[in-house]
A and B are shown apart, each in its own frame.
Chain A
Amino acid sequence: MSLITPVIRPGTVARINPVAKMLAAILVALALLLSIDWVSAAVALALEAVLLPFAGLSARQFWLRTATLWVAAPLAALTTVLYGKDSGALLTRFGPITITDGSLDLGLAIGLRILAIGLPGIVLFATTDPTDLADGLGQVLRLPARFVLGGLAGLRLVGLFIEDWRFLALARRARGVGDSNPITRIARQGFSLLVLSVRRGSKLATAMEAKGFGSDRQRTWARASVFGVREWRFMALAVAIPAAAIVAAVLAGTWKFVLS
């Protein structure tokens, strides 16, 4: 398993065009950022919870990939409860820390919101192959091939950088300068990595150019990227979730438009 050739279990979601997945994740995120209230976040999260098991991730993959969210969301919620803007009835107070009805609501809204935006984003990305995404960006969204494929080729170098980084650490130890404090060491080693990566990048650019990349000729795409019925259905789902969340919040009277 690696960053650029992830092992993705075949499934309906894995087959959906990555462009649709990306647009869906952006749509959910934007809609949920319009208000900070717990009802809309909770409804969106509940609906997503019903759909996520169908994404094709194993339980282990799911928890590993989303682990940071499960730490970040409660922490953000707790911080808001303790230090957030106070309103409504005062519940408790320890010195400068006050907990009110208002800060409790706000904390819950923020914690749920992080999960409702983050989970689908991470899960959809985890079921996406970078090569497919580049194909989609180039063929469906018609972004310039130079930009899309340059980025994809660069992503492949990341794996080499991890290897380079380890070699650089060993090399510094061998050269007698591995004893310095961690901050200096990481800074110096980072600079060495930068030098190496520029060299690798320019060699790769020459190799790509030699294969006719970046010429004026109209390029073809070996892998078709299709945006069809399946993708439109998926997009409809991506519209329905935030729509349901917003309607529920407005009906419950908790909707608070962030810009008003």
Chain B
Amino acid sequence: MTAENETTGGARIIARGWGWRHASRRAPAVHGLDLRIEPGERVLLLGRSGAGKSTLIQALAGVLGGDEEGDATGELLIDGHAPQSARGEAGLVLQDPDSQVVLARVGDDVAFACENLGVPREEIWRRVPAALAEVGLDLPLDHPTAQLSGGQKQRLALAGVVAMRPRLLLLDEPTANLDPAGVVDVRDAVAGTLQRSGATLVVIEHRVSVWLDVVDRVIVLDPDGGLLADGRPREVLQTAGASLAAAGVWVPGFPPARPVRRPRVAGEPLLAASGLAVGRTEFGRRRPTVVSSGIDLELAAGESLAIVGENGAGKSTLALTLAGLLAPAGGSLEALPALARGLGSQPYRWRSRQLLTRAGMVFQDPEHQFLAGTVRAELEVGPRALGDGLGRADTVRVDELLERLHLDHLANANPFTLSGGEKRRLSVATALATRPQVLLLDEPTFGQDALTWQELVALLAELVDDGTALVSVTHDRDYVETIADRSLVLHGLSFEGRVIV
């Protein structure tokens, strides 16, 4: 491990009848896998959710755990070694930007992996700035990691891996939680590092188009064991494109179906903001820090508004304010009579219970909103809070939602054990359970597969057509085109919000 050793080359992966069963599950996550990946190959790993993609990548990273975590069958080798004994050969970047940062400062965090591998101190500090430059993070070494954006955090995680000089780069949906600019930054950083090191790449990603120009091979896992398809990207997408799209993979040329909309009928006005400033009160402060101001808007029943704009422009904060969860930091936000229905005109002053039938907010992270032990109980939280106990009509409503959002077979499952798409559907369903007049969603399509996207958009279109006012904070252009009647572009710090019709 010396500085001259710039090109590390790639690792060879061999699987022979490999399989893995998690200790808590009856069925194996992966079984009967035969695979050979040559040094320097760049592989996009696809398959419907539950096909075992993450299991395979974690096994390659050597973090699947020992015998108490599950049973392995067959053989999985990296350059002839078991992955656990090849630590440092493989570097892994995961989906969630927040839970991959280990240390408080950028330089220290990049150095962390090198320290664990026993790299000498002088060599570590040669590698750290080089790795940061390679992923395009132009920041001082003592920059606090807490101040990084999601895309920067993912590039930091990548820099930590790059500094390890791995022969195998493993990426598990590294861009699923990022905005479009962040996606491109991370993708380009990966492409650059592969160019230099010649390492082997295995990446999992729902959105095929992001990686299509980087990878030279696509492997599709079969949920029933083995492989569904394997070959050059264009060929695999041609032969297996339709079935992949049907399984929820975003395949270029196979866009998800868009709902047919009814012509819009202007409903009664519900909310009006004028000169509205939004902000959040930082921990230990008294006054809110304004993130966006001068916002004028009106929202009527049956109308769909998209809030768009760059990161940090205050989109989420505006949604939380419109939802009556945060107090306006300035200007006015007025609930009009059709929404207030006898209450005062300031949504922030309403009681939590009174919000339920008026404004429903779906947070970006569904896990923040889960309160109950089962999916069914989760849906009953709202109706229960509304009145004394659960009526006949409420039970019917809950059953209807379970069925409509394909959650009926999971009614008794714990919400935290659901997949990403199921969690998103559940968090939307919890808001719908009390039929709010205004529904607000924060990045509803982040990290969702094409199937969930299609179902979600269809459901929302139906709601809007039936008179619900919809407010969506989003970066997703397809989503805006499909469902928004107009967009509000926020420009952040005290610039004006502009409405584009």
The chain A residues found within 8 Å of chain B, CB to CB, are: 2, 4-5, 130-131, 149, 152-153, 156, 159-160, 162, 164, 166-168, 170-179, 188, 192, 195-196, 199-200, 203-204, 206-215, 217-224
What A residues does B283 contact at CB under 8 A?
162, 166
Mask of B252-292 contacts with A, CB within 8 angstroms, 1/0: 00000000000000000000000000000001000000000
Question: Chain A: which residue is nearest B363 at the CB level?
Answer: A171
Smallest Cβ distance from A97 to chain B, in angstroms?
A: 38
What B residues does A177 contact at CB under 8 A?
352, 371, 381, 385
Q: Could you write out 27 A-B pairs with CB less than 8 Å apart?
A: A5-B104, A131-B105, A166-B283, A170-B361, A172-B352, A172-B371, A173-B355, A175-B382, A176-B356, A176-B382, A177-B371, A178-B352, A179-B353, A195-B416, A199-B416, A200-B98, A203-B100, A206-B94, A208-B102, A211-B113, A213-B112, A213-B116, A219-B116, A220-B119, A222-B115, A222-B124, A223-B108
Given A156-B103, A203-B96, check contact A210 B119 (CB 8 Å): no
CA distance in complex: A176, B369 (Å) = 11
The chain B residues found within 8 Å of chain A, CB to CB, are: 58, 61-63, 87-88, 91-92, 94, 96, 98-105, 108, 111-121, 124-125, 128, 144-146, 157, 160-161, 164, 283, 320, 323, 325-326, 351-353, 355-356, 360-361, 363, 365, 367-371, 381-382, 385-386, 416, 430-431, 434
What A residues does B63 contact at CB under 8 A?
206, 209-210
A174 adjacent to B323 (CB under 8 Å): yes
CA distance in complex: A167, B365 (Å) = 10
Given A176-B381, A177-B385, check contact A171 B121 (CB 8 Å): no
Apart from A170-B325, A196-B368, what 11 extra A-B contacts exist at CB < 8 Å? A5-B144, A130-B104, A153-B103, A166-B283, A171-B368, A175-B382, A175-B385, A210-B62, A219-B118, A220-B119, A224-B121
CA distance in complex: A200, B101 (Å) = 11
A211 adjacent to B108 (CB under 8 Å): no
What B residues does A195 contact at CB under 8 A?
416
A196 adjacent to B367 (CB under 8 Å): yes
Smallest Cβ distance from A157 to chain B, in angstroms?
A: 9
**CB < 8 Å: which of A131, A171, A173, A200 contacts B103?**
A131
Given A167-B363, A167-B365, A192-B371, check contact A207 B99 (CB 8 Å): yes
CA distance in complex: A170, B365 (Å) = 13
**CB < 8 Å: which of A159, A170, A188 contacts B326?**
A170
Question: Chain B: which residue is nearest A150 at the CB level?
Answer: B102
CA distance in complex: A198, B91 (Å) = 24
Task: Determine the main DSSP class of A at the interface with B.
Answer: helix
What A residues does B94 contact at CB under 8 A?
203, 206-207, 210
Smallest Cβ distance from B335 to chain A, in angstroms?
A: 16
A174 adjacent to B361 (CB under 8 Å): yes
A203 adjacent to B99 (CB under 8 Å): yes
What B residues does A2 contact at CB under 8 A?
144, 146
Question: Chain B: which residue is nearest A207 at the CB level?
Answer: B100
CA distance in complex: A178, B342 (Å) = 21
What A residues does B88 contact at CB under 8 A?
212
Greatest chain B CB density within 10 A among A2, A174, A206 is at A174
What B residues does A213 contact at CB under 8 A?
102, 112, 116
CA distance in complex: A220, B370 (Å) = 42
Question: Chain A: which residue is nearest B386 at the CB level?
Answer: A176
What A residues does B98 contact at CB under 8 A?
160, 200
**CB < 8 Å: which of B62, B121, B355 contacts A222?**
B121
CA distance in complex: A203, B99 (Å) = 6
A222 adjacent to B114 (CB under 8 Å): yes
Smallest Cβ distance from A122 to chain B, in angstroms?
A: 17
